[in-house]
Amino acid sequence: MTTAADSLVRVRSMKFGFGPKVIYDGIDLDIVRGKITAILGPSGTGKTTLLRLIGGQWKPDAGSIEFDGINVHQQSRKQLFELRKRMGLLFQTGALLTDLSVFENVAFPLREHTTFPESMIRDLVLMKLEAVGLRGAAKLYPSEISGGMNRRVALARAIALEPDMIMYDEPFTGQDPISMGVLIRLIQGLNRSLNLTSVIVTHDVEDVMRIADYVYVLSGGKVLDHGSPAEVQQSKSALVRQFLNGEADGPVSFHYKAARSYADDLMAGRE
Amino acid sequence: MNFFSPLTDGLRGLGRATLFLFTILAGLPEALLRPRLIFQQIYSVGVLSLIIIVVSGSFIGMVLALQGYRTLVNFGAASSLGVLVALSIVRELGPVITALLFAGRAGSALAAEIGLMKATDQLSGMEMMAVDPIKRVIAPRFIAGLIAMPLLASIFSMMAIGVAGGHAIGVELLGVDDGSYWSQINQAMHGADIRDMLIKATVFGLAISWIAVYQGYHAAPTSEGVSRATTSTVVVSSLAILALDFVLTAFMFH
Sheet bearing A70-71, strands edge to edge:
A21-32, A7-18, A62-67, A70-71
One-letter amino acid identity for A199?
V
How much is the average pLDDT of A73-101?
89
Burial of B9 (0-12, 13-18, 19+ CB in 10 A): exposed
Give the closest residue to B198 by CA, choosing from B254, B248, B250, B162. B248
Q: Do the Cβ atoms of B120 and A81 come within 8 Å?
A: no
How far apart are the C-alpha atoms of A9 and A71, rounded to whole Å?
A: 10
Report the alpha-carbon angle B178-B181-B186, nearest 5: 125
Q: Which of A233-237, B59-63, B165-169 has the highest mean pLDDT?
A: B59-63
Q: Is the pLDDT assigned to residue B1 strictly greater than 60? A: no
**Torsion on CA atoms B36, B37, B43, B46, rounded to nearest 10:** -120
- Chain B environment of A97 (Cβ under 8 Å): 117, 122, 125-126
- Chain B environment of A154 (Cβ under 8 Å): 125
The pair phi, psi for residue B94, each rounded to 5°, is -55, -65
pLDDT digits (tens, 9 = 90+) for B130-146: 999 999 999 999 999 99
Mean pLDDT of chain B: 92
Q: Do the Cβ atoms of B121 and A108 come within 8 Å?
A: no
Determine the straight-line distance between the first and last CA of chain B, rounded to whole angstroms: 45
- Closest Cβ opposite residue A84 in set B120, B128, B136: B128
Q: Is the pLDDT assigned to residue A212 strictly greater than 80? A: yes
Q: Which residue has the higher pLDDT, A270 or A27?
A: A27
Q: Which residue has the higher pLDDT, B46 or A41?
A: B46
pLDDT digits (tens, 9 = 90+) for B160-199: 887 788 888 888 888 888 888 899 889 989 999 999 999 9
- For residue B128, CA distances in Å to A15, B37, B64, B119 come to 22, 21, 54, 15
The confidence score (pLDDT) of residue B165 equals: 85
Give the closest residue to B180 by CA, choosing from B79, B83, B88, B81. B79
- Chain B environment of A57 (Cβ under 8 Å): 124, 127-128
Q: Around Cβ A97, how many Cβ atoms within 10 Å?
A: 20
Contact B166, B62 (CB under 8 A): yes
Q: Could you write out the DSSP letters of every residue in B109-136?
A: HHHHHHHHHHHTTHHHHHHHTT--HIII
Establish whether this prediction's ipTM goes over 0.95.
Answer: no
DSSP structural state of residue A267:
H
Q: How far is B33 from chain A (nearest CA, A)?
A: 13
Give the closest residue to B157 by CA, choosing from B64, B78, B54, B69. B54
Alpha helices in A37-132 (DSSP H): 47-54, 77-84, 102-113, 118-131
How far apart are the C-alpha atoms of A1 and A221, rounded to whole Å?
A: 22
Give the closest residue to B122 by CA, choosing from A48, A93, A150. A93
Question: Domain-by-domain residue ranges, chain A?
Answer: 1-86+165-178+194-271, 95-162
Helices B191-217 and B223-252: angle between axes, nearest 10 degrees: 160
pLDDT digits (tens, 9 = 90+) for B65-100: 999 999 998 998 888 888 999 999 999 999 999 999
- Closest Cβ opposite residue B120 in set A57, A89, A93: A93
The confidence score (pLDDT) of residue B246 equals: 95
Burial of A249 (0-12, 13-18, 19+ CB in 10 A): exposed
- Chain A environment of B128 (Cβ under 8 Å): 55, 57, 84, 87-89
- Closest Cβ opposite residue A112 in set B120, B122, B131: B131
**What is the pTM assigned to this prediction?**
0.85
> Count of A–B CB contacts within 8 Å?
52
Mean pLDDT of chain A: 87
The confidence score (pLDDT) of residue A2 equals: 56
CATH of A1-86+165-178+194-271, one of 3.30.1330.80, 1.20.1250.20, 3.40.1360.10, 3.40.50.300: 3.40.50.300
